[in-house]
Amino acid sequence: MLARTGTAPTRNYVGRFAPTPSGPLHFGSLVAAMASWLDARNAAGTWLVRIEDLDTPRNVPGAAEDILRSLLAFGMEADGEIVWQSRRLAFYDEALATLALASLTFFCTCTRKEIADSQLPGAKSALIYPGTCRTRPGQDQGALRIAVPAGEICFVDRCHGRQCQDLAIDVGDFVLRRADGIITYQLAVVVDDAAQGITHVVRGADLIDSTPRQIFLQRALGLATPDYLHVPVVVNGRGEKLSKQTGAVALDSEDAIALLARAACHLRLGTIKAATLAGFWREALLRYSDLEPAALVSHPAPCPSITS
C-alpha cells in the first residue's frame, strides 16, 4: 500500500529522477519523472535530480539544461542541488579502488566477436561474458570488469514482487569502466544513489534487469540497498520503449497540463482534468495515495497512444 494517510514516515524518504542528457525530456521520461515525484511527495519525502552524463559521446549539448527547464515547467522542482555525474569521477575511481582491493575486478581485452564466439548454445540474446580474462595475469589495460558470484540475487519490487537473477548465468562478469575510460551506468548509479542517500528508487521497468547487478555492487561496496519500484515504460506503436532512439519527440511545455494528464493515465491514475498545474498535481497526488503499486501492472490503461 502506498497510502500513508495520517501516518508518519517510518524513515526519511529520499527519491530521485536521473535522466540521461541524450536528448530533451520526452513522454517516456516524463512518466518516469512523474512516478518518482509522486512517490516522493506521497511519502512527504525529498525528490532529487541527477544528470547521468557519463556517456559523453551520447550527450547532446544543452539537453541537460533543457530537461531541467522542462521539469520546472511541468511543476517538478528538485529539493536539492542538481548532481552531475561528470563532476563526480573521483568518487567512481574510489569505488573501483575498493573493488580492486577486494580482488573483484580484472582487465579484459576481449572483443565483442570473441565473446560472441564463446556463447554457449541456448544463451539469451544479450552477450554473456564467459570469464575469459579472469585468470589472465598481468593485464593492465582494456575494460575493467567485475567477477560476479554464482547464486541468485533477489529483491522485492514494490510493483512486480520478488525478482531473482543469477548474475553468473544471466549476465556474466560485467563492465565497470569501459576500455575508453568511461564509467558505466551500473557503477555510477550505485555510487551516486548511496552518496545522495537515496532510500527509494522509482524508475522504468526496463531497468529491472539491472537491479540485481546494482545490489551486488552495493553489497561489494558496503552500501545500503534502497527500495525499488519499477513502473511500466511507455512504448511506441511498434512496441518499442519510447526513447530518443525510437523517435520520441520533445515535449512542448505549453501543453504541460494535457501531457501530464496523459502521463498520469499511463500510471493508472485515471483521467485528470485540471485548469492549473497546481490543481493537476493536487489531484494526481490524491489519486496516487490510493494506488496499490501492483495496480501499476495489472490493469492496462486505456490511454491515448503516444507514437511518433
Smallest gap from Cβ 141 to Zn ion, in A, equals 12
Q: Identify the bridge partners of residue 241 per DSSP, sorted by sequence position.
A: 235
Q: Which residues contact 304 (CB under 8 A, 6 or more apart)?
A: 262, 265
Smallest gap from Cβ 185 to Zn ion, in A, equals 20
Q: Which of 22, 86, 119, 132 binds Zn ion (CB under 5 A)?
A: 132
> Which residue is listed with cell 572483443?
111
Smallest gap from Cβ 47 to Zn ion, in A, equals 40
> To which H or E segment does residue 106 belong?
strand 105-108
Closest CA to 36 of 193, 165, 246, 186: 193
Per-residue contact string for residues 250-279; x = within reach of Zn ion by CB under 5 A? ------------------------------
Contact region for Zn ion (CB under 5 A) — 95-103, 109-117, 180-188, 194-202?
Answer: 109-117
Cβ-based nearer residue to Zn ion, 52 or 173:
173
Instruction: Answer yes or no whether residue 83 interacts with Zn ion by CB under 5 A.
Output: no
Smallest gap from Cβ 151 to Zn ion, in A, equals 22
Instruction: Answer yes or no whether residue 18 interacts with Zn ion by CB under 5 A.
Output: no
Dist CA 50 CA 16 (whole Å): 7
Dist CA 37 CA 34 (whole Å): 5
Dist CA 36 CA 229 (whole Å): 9
Contact region for Zn ion (CB under 5 A) — 100-108, 261-269, 271-279, 299-307?
Answer: 100-108
Instruction: Answer yes or no whether residue 133 interacts with Zn ion by CB under 5 A.
Output: yes
Smallest gap from Cβ 132 to Zn ion, in A, equals 4
Smallest gap from Cβ 89 to Zn ion, in A, equals 24
Cβ-based nearer residue to Zn ion, 117 or 290:
117
Q: Identify the bridge partners of residue 156 per DSSP, sorted by sequence position.
A: 162
| Residue 109, CB-side half-sphere exposure with 13 Å CA sphere | 8
10 Å Cβ neighbour count for 91? 16
Q: Residue count at the site for Zn ion (CB under 5 A)?
A: 4
Instruction: Answer yes or no whether residue 108 interacts with Zn ion by CB under 5 A.
Output: yes
Cβ-based nearer residue to Zn ion, 43 or 133:
133
Q: Which residues contact 175 (CB under 8 A, 6 or more apart)?
A: 108, 143, 144, 145, 184
Instruction: Answer yes or no whether residue 95 interacts with Zn ion by CB under 5 A.
Output: no
Strand order in the sheet with 143-146: 105-108, 143-146, 174-177
Contact 194, 226 (CB under 8 A): no
Q: Which of 110, 128, 233, 291 binds Zn ion (CB under 5 A)?
A: 110
Cβ-based nearer residue to Zn ion, 108 or 242:
108
Cβ-based nearer residue to Zn ion, 110 or 189:
110
List interacting residues with Zn ion (CB under 5 A). Answer: 108, 110, 132-133
